[in-house]
Amino acid sequence: MEQYAIKGGNPLVGEVEIGGAKNAALAILAASIMTDETVLIENVPDVRDTNVMMQAIESIGGIVERIDRHTVKISGKSIMDLVIEDDFIKKIRASYYLLGALLGKYKKAQVTLPGGCNIGLRPIDQHIKGFRALGADVRIEHGLIIAEAQRLRGSHIYMDVVTVGATIDVMMAAVMAEGQTIIENAAKEPHVVDVANFLNSMGAVVRGAGTDVIRIKGVPRLHGTEYTIIPDQIEAGTFMFAAAVTKGDVTVKNVIPKHLESISAKLNEIGCEVEESDDAVRVVAAKPLTHTHVKTLPYPGFPTDMQPQITVALGLSRGTSIVTESIFENRFKYVDELTRMGASIKVEGNTAIIDGVPRYTGASISAPDLRAGAALVIAGLSAEGTTIIDDIKFIERGYEDFHIKLQTLGAQIEKVNSERELHKFRLKTG
Protein backbone atom coordinates (compact mmCIF):
# COMPACT_ATOMS: atom_id res chain seq x y z
CA MET A 1 0.00 0.00 0.00
CA GLU A 2 1.38 3.39 -0.94
CA GLN A 3 2.10 5.80 1.87
CA TYR A 4 3.67 9.20 2.28
CA ALA A 5 6.76 9.27 4.47
CA ILE A 6 7.49 12.76 5.75
CA LYS A 7 10.38 14.06 7.80
CA GLY A 8 9.15 17.32 9.24
CA GLY A 9 10.95 20.49 10.12
CA ASN A 10 11.97 22.08 6.83
CA PRO A 11 10.38 25.47 6.11
CA LEU A 12 8.88 25.39 2.62
CA VAL A 13 10.58 27.94 0.40
CA GLY A 14 10.23 28.71 -3.29
CA GLU A 15 7.61 28.75 -6.02
CA VAL A 16 4.86 26.32 -6.87
CA GLU A 17 2.63 26.20 -9.92
CA ILE A 18 -1.08 25.52 -9.34
CA GLY A 19 -3.06 23.30 -11.70
CA GLY A 20 -6.60 23.51 -13.05
CA ALA A 21 -9.53 23.42 -10.65
CA LYS A 22 -10.60 19.83 -10.03
CA ASN A 23 -14.17 20.71 -9.15
CA ALA A 24 -14.60 22.92 -12.21
CA ALA A 25 -13.01 20.25 -14.40
CA LEU A 26 -15.42 17.56 -13.20
CA ALA A 27 -18.45 19.59 -14.23
CA ILE A 28 -16.88 20.91 -17.44
CA LEU A 29 -15.88 17.42 -18.57
CA ALA A 30 -19.45 16.27 -17.98
CA ALA A 31 -20.90 19.31 -19.78
CA SER A 32 -18.60 18.76 -22.77
CA ILE A 33 -20.76 15.83 -23.95
CA MET A 34 -23.71 18.18 -24.42
CA THR A 35 -22.70 18.99 -27.99
CA ASP A 36 -22.14 16.62 -30.92
CA GLU A 37 -19.17 18.75 -31.93
CA THR A 38 -15.67 18.33 -30.52
CA VAL A 39 -14.65 20.20 -27.40
CA LEU A 40 -11.04 20.92 -26.45
CA ILE A 41 -10.39 21.48 -22.76
CA GLU A 42 -7.09 22.79 -21.42
CA ASN A 43 -5.68 22.89 -17.90
CA VAL A 44 -7.46 19.68 -16.82
CA PRO A 45 -5.71 18.48 -13.66
CA ASP A 46 -4.34 14.95 -13.96
CA VAL A 47 -5.88 13.59 -10.76
CA ARG A 48 -7.89 10.48 -10.00
CA ASP A 49 -11.31 12.16 -9.96
CA THR A 50 -10.96 13.76 -13.38
CA ASN A 51 -9.61 10.52 -14.83
CA VAL A 52 -12.60 8.62 -13.45
CA MET A 53 -14.96 11.20 -14.95
CA MET A 54 -13.31 10.69 -18.36
CA GLN A 55 -13.69 6.91 -17.98
CA ALA A 56 -17.37 7.41 -17.13
CA ILE A 57 -17.78 9.45 -20.33
CA GLU A 58 -16.06 6.69 -22.33
CA SER A 59 -18.28 4.08 -20.67
CA ILE A 60 -21.38 5.62 -22.28
CA GLY A 61 -19.76 5.90 -25.72
CA GLY A 62 -18.16 9.35 -25.58
CA ILE A 63 -14.72 9.74 -27.17
CA VAL A 64 -11.99 11.11 -24.95
CA GLU A 65 -8.64 11.85 -26.50
CA ARG A 66 -5.74 13.06 -24.42
CA ILE A 67 -3.69 15.59 -26.36
CA ASP A 68 -1.18 16.03 -23.55
CA ARG A 69 -1.19 15.60 -19.79
CA HIS A 70 -3.57 18.53 -19.24
CA THR A 71 -5.42 18.84 -22.55
CA VAL A 72 -8.28 16.63 -23.66
CA LYS A 73 -10.54 16.50 -26.66
CA ILE A 74 -14.02 15.16 -26.03
CA SER A 75 -16.76 14.23 -28.42
CA GLY A 76 -20.22 13.32 -27.22
CA LYS A 77 -21.47 12.54 -30.70
CA SER A 78 -21.26 8.77 -30.38
CA ILE A 79 -22.94 8.47 -26.97
CA MET A 80 -25.15 5.39 -27.05
CA ASP A 81 -25.93 4.74 -23.46
CA LEU A 82 -27.57 7.05 -20.92
CA VAL A 83 -26.85 4.89 -17.91
CA ILE A 84 -23.94 5.72 -15.61
CA GLU A 85 -22.69 2.62 -13.87
CA ASP A 86 -22.51 2.19 -10.15
CA ASP A 87 -18.72 1.88 -10.12
CA PHE A 88 -18.18 5.43 -11.31
CA ILE A 89 -20.61 6.92 -8.81
CA LYS A 90 -18.86 5.01 -6.05
CA LYS A 91 -15.53 6.46 -7.13
CA ILE A 92 -16.67 10.04 -7.67
CA ARG A 93 -19.84 11.57 -6.35
CA ALA A 94 -19.54 14.28 -8.97
CA SER A 95 -20.66 11.83 -11.65
CA TYR A 96 -24.08 13.25 -10.78
CA TYR A 97 -23.05 16.02 -13.17
CA LEU A 98 -23.62 13.51 -15.96
CA LEU A 99 -27.24 13.39 -14.85
CA GLY A 100 -27.73 17.10 -15.59
CA ALA A 101 -25.68 16.92 -18.79
CA LEU A 102 -27.44 13.84 -20.22
CA LEU A 103 -30.88 15.03 -19.16
CA GLY A 104 -30.21 18.42 -20.75
CA LYS A 105 -29.04 16.92 -24.03
CA TYR A 106 -31.01 13.67 -24.44
CA LYS A 107 -33.90 14.42 -22.02
CA LYS A 108 -33.11 11.18 -20.27
CA ALA A 109 -30.50 9.87 -17.84
CA GLN A 110 -30.04 7.17 -15.30
CA VAL A 111 -27.44 7.33 -12.56
CA THR A 112 -26.89 5.30 -9.39
CA LEU A 113 -27.93 7.25 -6.33
CA PRO A 114 -24.76 8.57 -4.71
CA GLY A 115 -24.13 6.94 -1.36
CA GLY A 116 -22.87 8.49 1.85
CA CYS A 117 -19.48 10.02 2.05
CA ASN A 118 -16.74 10.46 4.60
CA ILE A 119 -17.67 14.02 5.41
CA GLY A 120 -21.29 13.38 6.31
CA LEU A 121 -24.72 13.25 4.78
CA ARG A 122 -24.80 14.65 1.25
CA PRO A 123 -28.36 14.69 -0.07
CA ILE A 124 -29.22 15.46 -3.69
CA ASP A 125 -32.77 16.64 -3.14
CA GLN A 126 -32.04 20.06 -4.64
CA HIS A 127 -30.76 18.51 -7.88
CA ILE A 128 -33.98 16.49 -8.12
CA LYS A 129 -36.14 19.48 -7.24
CA GLY A 130 -34.51 21.49 -10.03
CA PHE A 131 -34.91 18.75 -12.65
CA ARG A 132 -38.57 18.33 -11.69
CA ALA A 133 -39.14 22.07 -11.96
CA LEU A 134 -37.82 21.87 -15.53
CA GLY A 135 -40.51 19.28 -16.28
CA ALA A 136 -38.55 16.05 -15.85
CA ASP A 137 -40.06 13.03 -14.26
CA VAL A 138 -37.51 11.96 -11.64
CA ARG A 139 -37.94 8.72 -9.77
CA ILE A 140 -35.76 6.57 -7.63
CA GLU A 141 -35.98 2.86 -8.35
CA HIS A 142 -33.67 0.07 -7.25
CA GLY A 143 -31.08 2.58 -6.08
CA LEU A 144 -31.11 4.45 -9.40
CA ILE A 145 -32.15 8.00 -10.14
CA ILE A 146 -34.06 7.96 -13.39
CA ALA A 147 -34.77 11.35 -14.92
CA GLU A 148 -36.68 11.75 -18.17
CA ALA A 149 -38.77 14.34 -19.95
CA GLN A 150 -40.63 14.74 -23.20
CA ARG A 151 -39.56 18.37 -23.20
CA LEU A 152 -37.70 20.47 -20.68
CA ARG A 153 -39.20 23.87 -20.02
CA GLY A 154 -37.54 26.82 -18.30
CA SER A 155 -38.67 27.45 -14.77
CA HIS A 156 -38.16 29.59 -11.68
CA ILE A 157 -36.23 27.56 -9.11
CA TYR A 158 -35.39 28.59 -5.56
CA MET A 159 -32.64 26.51 -3.98
CA ASP A 160 -33.42 25.76 -0.32
CA VAL A 161 -29.72 25.56 0.51
CA VAL A 162 -26.73 27.08 -1.24
CA THR A 163 -25.36 24.11 -3.14
CA VAL A 164 -22.58 24.09 -5.71
CA GLY A 165 -23.54 20.67 -7.06
CA ALA A 166 -27.24 21.37 -7.59
CA THR A 167 -26.61 24.87 -8.99
CA ILE A 168 -24.29 23.46 -11.65
CA ASP A 169 -26.36 20.36 -12.35
CA VAL A 170 -29.60 22.30 -12.84
CA MET A 171 -27.77 24.94 -14.91
CA MET A 172 -26.60 22.19 -17.28
CA ALA A 173 -30.07 20.67 -17.54
CA ALA A 174 -31.57 24.11 -18.26
CA VAL A 175 -29.28 25.40 -21.04
CA MET A 176 -31.24 23.60 -23.76
CA ALA A 177 -34.66 23.80 -22.07
CA GLU A 178 -37.33 25.86 -23.80
CA GLY A 179 -37.59 29.41 -22.47
CA GLN A 180 -36.04 31.04 -19.46
CA THR A 181 -34.83 29.44 -16.22
CA ILE A 182 -34.05 31.45 -13.12
CA ILE A 183 -32.06 29.83 -10.32
CA GLU A 184 -32.35 31.79 -7.09
CA ASN A 185 -30.11 31.36 -4.05
CA ALA A 186 -27.50 29.95 -6.43
CA ALA A 187 -23.99 29.04 -5.29
CA LYS A 188 -21.39 31.68 -6.26
CA GLU A 189 -18.20 29.59 -6.16
CA PRO A 190 -15.56 30.32 -8.83
CA HIS A 191 -16.23 26.96 -10.44
CA VAL A 192 -19.94 27.77 -10.85
CA VAL A 193 -18.80 30.80 -12.88
CA ASP A 194 -16.28 28.70 -14.79
CA VAL A 195 -18.91 26.14 -15.81
CA ALA A 196 -21.26 28.96 -16.89
CA ASN A 197 -18.46 30.52 -18.96
CA PHE A 198 -17.74 27.15 -20.52
CA LEU A 199 -21.41 26.59 -21.40
CA ASN A 200 -21.59 30.11 -22.85
CA SER A 201 -18.53 29.37 -24.99
CA MET A 202 -20.60 26.48 -26.41
CA GLY A 203 -23.42 28.85 -27.32
CA ALA A 204 -25.48 28.70 -24.13
CA VAL A 205 -26.95 31.88 -22.70
CA VAL A 206 -26.22 31.86 -18.96
CA ARG A 207 -26.14 35.20 -17.14
CA GLY A 208 -25.50 36.12 -13.52
CA ALA A 209 -23.23 33.23 -12.52
CA GLY A 210 -21.20 34.45 -9.54
CA THR A 211 -24.27 36.21 -8.09
CA ASP A 212 -27.10 34.48 -6.29
CA VAL A 213 -29.48 34.73 -9.24
CA ILE A 214 -28.59 32.88 -12.44
CA ARG A 215 -30.69 33.46 -15.55
CA ILE A 216 -30.58 31.00 -18.42
CA LYS A 217 -32.18 31.45 -21.82
CA GLY A 218 -32.62 28.07 -23.46
CA VAL A 219 -31.00 27.49 -26.87
CA PRO A 220 -31.79 24.60 -29.23
CA ARG A 221 -28.27 23.24 -29.35
CA LEU A 222 -24.68 23.77 -28.22
CA HIS A 223 -21.56 23.79 -30.38
CA GLY A 224 -17.91 22.84 -30.01
CA THR A 225 -15.45 25.05 -28.17
CA GLU A 226 -11.93 25.42 -26.81
CA TYR A 227 -11.75 26.28 -23.16
CA THR A 228 -9.16 26.65 -20.38
CA ILE A 229 -10.15 25.71 -16.83
CA ILE A 230 -9.49 28.18 -14.00
CA PRO A 231 -6.76 27.53 -11.40
CA ASP A 232 -7.64 25.43 -8.37
CA GLN A 233 -8.53 27.64 -5.41
CA ILE A 234 -8.19 24.80 -2.91
CA GLU A 235 -4.87 23.46 -4.18
CA ALA A 236 -3.55 27.04 -3.97
CA GLY A 237 -4.96 27.51 -0.46
CA THR A 238 -3.42 24.24 0.66
CA PHE A 239 0.08 25.38 -0.37
CA MET A 240 -0.55 28.78 1.26
CA PHE A 241 -1.29 27.07 4.55
CA ALA A 242 1.66 24.71 4.07
CA ALA A 243 3.85 27.83 3.93
CA ALA A 244 2.28 29.18 7.12
CA VAL A 245 2.56 25.97 9.11
CA THR A 246 6.20 25.31 8.17
CA LYS A 247 7.19 28.96 8.77
CA GLY A 248 8.10 29.20 5.13
CA ASP A 249 8.08 31.63 2.23
CA VAL A 250 6.16 30.30 -0.76
CA THR A 251 4.98 31.97 -3.94
CA VAL A 252 1.92 30.21 -5.28
CA LYS A 253 1.80 30.84 -9.02
CA ASN A 254 -0.91 30.64 -11.67
CA VAL A 255 -3.76 31.61 -9.36
CA ILE A 256 -6.59 34.14 -9.36
CA PRO A 257 -5.87 36.10 -6.12
CA LYS A 258 -9.50 37.27 -5.92
CA HIS A 259 -10.59 33.64 -5.44
CA LEU A 260 -8.19 33.35 -2.51
CA GLU A 261 -9.31 36.42 -0.55
CA SER A 262 -10.96 34.60 2.37
CA ILE A 263 -7.88 32.39 2.68
CA SER A 264 -5.43 35.31 2.48
CA ALA A 265 -7.49 37.23 5.07
CA LYS A 266 -7.26 34.38 7.59
CA LEU A 267 -3.52 33.98 6.98
CA ASN A 268 -3.11 37.71 7.67
CA GLU A 269 -5.13 37.39 10.85
CA ILE A 270 -2.90 34.64 12.20
CA GLY A 271 0.25 36.64 11.51
CA CYS A 272 1.42 35.78 7.98
CA GLU A 273 2.24 38.27 5.30
CA VAL A 274 0.40 37.74 2.03
CA GLU A 275 1.55 39.63 -1.06
CA GLU A 276 -0.67 39.52 -4.12
CA SER A 277 0.35 40.11 -7.70
CA ASP A 278 -1.59 39.59 -10.92
CA ASP A 279 -1.53 35.81 -10.96
CA ALA A 280 0.42 34.83 -7.84
CA VAL A 281 0.34 35.15 -4.08
CA ARG A 282 3.35 34.97 -1.80
CA VAL A 283 2.91 33.81 1.79
CA VAL A 284 5.66 34.61 4.27
CA ALA A 285 5.38 33.24 7.79
CA ALA A 286 8.11 35.08 9.66
CA LYS A 287 6.27 35.62 12.96
CA PRO A 288 4.78 33.10 15.41
CA LEU A 289 1.19 32.20 14.45
CA THR A 290 -1.66 33.53 16.59
CA HIS A 291 -5.19 32.30 17.18
CA THR A 292 -8.35 33.27 15.34
CA HIS A 293 -11.91 32.09 14.77
CA VAL A 294 -13.31 30.86 11.49
CA LYS A 295 -16.62 29.57 10.18
CA THR A 296 -16.92 27.79 6.86
CA LEU A 297 -19.46 29.35 4.50
CA PRO A 298 -20.43 29.28 0.83
CA TYR A 299 -18.24 31.50 -1.39
CA PRO A 300 -17.07 34.23 -0.81
CA GLY A 301 -16.91 32.86 2.73
CA PHE A 302 -14.12 30.62 3.98
CA PRO A 303 -14.33 27.30 2.05
CA THR A 304 -15.23 24.09 3.83
CA ASP A 305 -12.57 22.43 1.66
CA MET A 306 -9.95 24.52 3.51
CA GLN A 307 -11.28 23.76 6.99
CA PRO A 308 -8.85 20.92 7.83
CA GLN A 309 -5.87 22.95 6.57
CA ILE A 310 -6.68 25.99 8.72
CA THR A 311 -7.35 23.74 11.71
CA VAL A 312 -3.86 22.27 11.35
CA ALA A 313 -2.43 25.82 11.35
CA LEU A 314 -4.51 26.92 14.33
CA GLY A 315 -3.38 23.82 16.20
CA LEU A 316 0.08 25.45 16.18
CA SER A 317 -1.11 29.01 16.84
CA ARG A 318 -0.78 30.72 20.23
CA GLY A 319 -4.04 30.88 22.15
CA THR A 320 -7.46 29.34 21.69
CA SER A 321 -9.14 29.23 18.29
CA ILE A 322 -12.63 28.14 17.29
CA VAL A 323 -13.45 26.55 13.94
CA THR A 324 -17.12 26.15 13.04
CA GLU A 325 -18.07 23.89 10.15
CA SER A 326 -21.37 25.01 8.70
CA ILE A 327 -21.51 23.11 5.38
CA PHE A 328 -20.96 19.44 6.23
CA GLU A 329 -21.85 17.95 9.58
CA ASN A 330 -19.11 15.38 9.95
CA ARG A 331 -15.96 16.99 8.80
CA PHE A 332 -13.74 16.75 11.88
CA LYS A 333 -12.91 13.05 11.69
CA TYR A 334 -9.25 13.82 11.01
CA VAL A 335 -8.94 15.50 14.42
CA ASP A 336 -8.29 12.11 16.04
CA GLU A 337 -5.27 11.69 13.77
CA LEU A 338 -4.04 15.20 14.53
CA THR A 339 -4.41 14.48 18.23
CA ARG A 340 -2.04 11.55 17.76
CA MET A 341 0.46 14.13 16.54
CA GLY A 342 0.07 16.15 19.72
CA ALA A 343 -2.71 18.59 18.83
CA SER A 344 -5.04 19.77 21.58
CA ILE A 345 -8.46 19.97 19.95
CA LYS A 346 -11.91 19.32 21.37
CA VAL A 347 -14.77 18.77 18.93
CA GLU A 348 -18.32 19.52 20.01
CA GLY A 349 -20.87 19.04 17.26
CA ASN A 350 -19.83 21.20 14.36
CA THR A 351 -17.27 23.18 16.35
CA ALA A 352 -13.62 22.52 17.08
CA ILE A 353 -12.03 24.29 20.05
CA ILE A 354 -8.31 24.40 19.53
CA ASP A 355 -5.63 25.16 22.09
CA GLY A 356 -2.45 25.88 20.20
CA VAL A 357 0.55 23.68 20.99
CA PRO A 358 4.18 24.66 20.22
CA ARG A 359 4.74 21.73 17.84
CA TYR A 360 3.38 18.48 16.44
CA THR A 361 5.27 15.19 16.66
CA GLY A 362 5.45 12.64 13.85
CA ALA A 363 3.10 9.64 14.00
CA SER A 364 1.61 6.90 11.83
CA ILE A 365 -1.77 8.15 10.68
CA SER A 366 -4.38 7.69 7.92
CA ALA A 367 -5.90 10.17 5.50
CA PRO A 368 -9.65 10.01 6.13
CA ASP A 369 -10.61 11.97 2.99
CA LEU A 370 -9.13 14.22 0.33
CA ARG A 371 -8.75 17.60 2.05
CA ALA A 372 -8.16 16.23 5.54
CA GLY A 373 -5.47 14.01 4.02
CA ALA A 374 -3.71 17.03 2.54
CA ALA A 375 -4.00 18.85 5.86
CA LEU A 376 -2.36 15.94 7.68
CA VAL A 377 0.52 16.07 5.19
CA ILE A 378 0.99 19.73 6.12
CA ALA A 379 0.95 18.79 9.78
CA GLY A 380 3.61 16.16 9.06
CA LEU A 381 5.79 18.73 7.28
CA SER A 382 5.90 20.86 10.39
CA ALA A 383 6.20 17.99 12.88
CA GLU A 384 9.23 16.87 14.79
CA GLY A 385 10.29 13.45 13.49
CA THR A 386 8.76 11.20 10.87
CA THR A 387 5.09 10.97 9.90
CA ILE A 388 3.73 8.08 7.87
CA ILE A 389 0.39 8.66 6.13
CA ASP A 390 -1.76 5.77 4.86
CA ASP A 391 -4.65 5.88 2.41
CA ILE A 392 -3.00 8.50 0.22
CA LYS A 393 -5.32 7.44 -2.60
CA PHE A 394 -7.76 9.95 -1.11
CA ILE A 395 -5.21 12.75 -1.49
CA GLU A 396 -4.45 11.71 -5.07
CA ARG A 397 -8.14 12.18 -5.92
CA GLY A 398 -7.55 15.92 -5.99
CA TYR A 399 -3.86 16.86 -5.83
CA GLU A 400 -1.61 16.32 -8.84
CA ASP A 401 2.00 15.41 -7.97
CA PHE A 402 1.43 16.66 -4.42
CA HIS A 403 4.60 15.20 -2.94
CA ILE A 404 6.69 16.25 -5.94
CA LYS A 405 5.50 19.87 -5.70
CA LEU A 406 6.27 19.81 -1.97
CA GLN A 407 9.74 18.37 -2.64
CA THR A 408 10.53 21.29 -4.96
CA LEU A 409 9.73 23.59 -2.03
CA GLY A 410 12.27 21.74 0.10
CA ALA A 411 10.01 19.27 1.89
CA GLN A 412 11.34 15.87 2.85
CA ILE A 413 8.46 13.76 1.62
CA GLU A 414 8.39 10.58 -0.43
CA LYS A 415 5.83 8.12 -1.66
CA VAL A 416 6.83 4.70 -0.34
CA ASN A 417 5.39 1.31 -1.22
CA SER A 418 7.13 -1.14 1.11
CA GLU A 419 8.82 -1.48 4.47
CA ARG A 420 12.12 -1.46 2.62
CA GLU A 421 11.43 1.88 0.97
CA LEU A 422 10.30 3.29 4.29
CA HIS A 423 13.48 2.06 5.93
CA LYS A 424 15.54 3.70 3.17
CA PHE A 425 13.65 6.96 3.72
CA ARG A 426 14.37 6.82 7.44
CA LEU A 427 18.08 6.20 6.83
CA LYS A 428 18.27 9.03 4.31
CA THR A 429 16.48 11.58 6.45
CA GLY A 430 18.24 10.68 9.71
Task: List residues binding ligand UD1 (CB under 6 A).
Answer: 23, 26, 94, 122-127, 161, 163-166, 187, 303-305, 327-328
The rounded distance, in Å, linking the Cα atoms of 149 and 151 is 5
In angstroms, the CA 420 to CA 330 distance is 36
Decide whether 163 or 382 has the Cβ nearer to ligand UD1: 163
161/265 with CB nearer ligand UD1:
161
* Residue with smaller CB distance to ligand UD1, 117 or 286: 117
Q: Pick between residue 122 and residue 333 the one whose CB is nearest to ligand UD1.
A: 122
Report the nearest approach of ligand UD1 to the CB of residue 168 (Å).
7
Cα 97 to Cα 169: distance, rounded to the nearest angstrom: 6
Q: How far is the CB of 57 from ligand UD1 (least distance, A)?
A: 16
Q: Cβ of 45: how many Cβ atoms within 10 Å?
A: 27
| 287-302 per-residue burial string, b: 16 or more CB within 10 A, e: under 16 | eebebbebbbebbeeb
Give the nearer residue to ligand UD1 in terms of CB position, either 157 or 243.
157
Q: Which residues of 324-356 are buried (b: 16+ CB within 10 A; e: fewer)?
A: ebebbeebbebbebbbbbbbebebeebebebbb
To ligand UD1, the closest distance from the beta carbon of 270 in angstroms equals: 22
Nearer to ligand UD1, 29 or 274 (CB): 29
Q: What DSSP assignment string belongs to 374-424?
A: HHHHHHHHHSBSEEEEE-THHHHTT-TTHHHHHHHTT-EEEEE-SHHHHHH
Pairing of strands 180-184, 213-217: antiparallel
**Least distance in Å: CB of 208 to ligand UD1?**
18
Q: What's phi and psi for 14, nearest 5 deg?
A: 130, -155
Closer CB to ligand UD1, 7 or 331, in the complex? 331
Give the nearest distance from C-beta 327 to ligand UD1 in angstroms. 5
Cα(first)–Cα(last) distance of the chain, in Å?
Answer: 23
Q: How far apart are CA 29 and CA 73, in angstroms?
A: 10
CB hemisphere CA count around 315 (13 angstroms): 34
**Phi/psi-derived region of residue 108, left when phi > 0, alpha when psi is between -120 and 50, beta in every other case:** beta
Q: Nearest to ligand UD1 by Cβ — which residue? A: 165
Instruction: Return the SS3 of 262.
Output: helix
Strand order in 351-355's β-sheet?
Answer: 293-295, 320-324, 351-355, 344-348
CA separation for the pair 145, 100 (Å, rounded): 11
Q: Provide the minimum distance between the beta carbon of 153 and ligand UD1 in the complex, in angstroms, as a whole number.
A: 21
Query: Residue 244 and residue 51: Cα distance in Å, rounded?
Result: 31
In the complex, the smallest distance separating the C-beta of residue 360 from ligand UD1, rounded to whole angstroms, is 25
Q: Of 117, 265, 286, 353, which is the active-site residue?
A: 117
Contact 106, 35 (CB under 8 A): no
Establish whether 272 is a catalytic residue.
no
Catalytic residue positions?
117
